[in-house]
Amino acid sequence: MNTCSAVLVRVIILLLSCAWSLDGMAQGKDALTKDFDKLSPKERSRIAARETREAATDSSYQAVMRDAEQAFQDAQYEDALKLFQQARVLRPYNVYPKVKIEDLQALIKKRDRDQAAQGAAPEPI
């Protein structure tokens, strides 16, 4: 194997290991935000731009997002939450599902707390 071939093999291995690392960063509930902060601003910008382009043409993701938004509009918050979680699995680098998941979790928690308070309040005479 000549020197050029050896260098080329090393570059390919390096690129594959980088791609594998990026895939691993997308795993887990908060992995994106935790590892995303470690990247340079230029790299974050590049990943965000690529994700925006790819998400726009991902028909499965778009269908799940439409269903999730409709469930949210219909006040079916648990269904919307499940659909946004599914969207997060489909496009782990897309921030929108993560934000909607956090918003819905807070909304459901507040709704449940309010309902519990109403149930515990004495009935008016």
Amino acid at 16: L
Cα–Cα distances in angstroms (integers) from residue 39 to residues 32, 34, 53, 76, 89, in the given order: 11, 10, 20, 37, 21
What pLDDT, in 10s, does the model give residues 66-109? 999 999 999 999 999 999 999 999 998 898 999 999 999 999 99
Whole-model pTM above 0.75?
no
Q: Which of 111, 109, 107, 104 is nearest to 86 (CA)?
A: 104
Q: pLDDT for 42-65, tens place per residue?
A: 888 888 888 888 888 889 999 999
How far the first Cα of the chain sits from its last, in Å, is: 92
Q: Report yes or no: 27 and 34 within 8 Å, Cβ to Cβ.
A: no
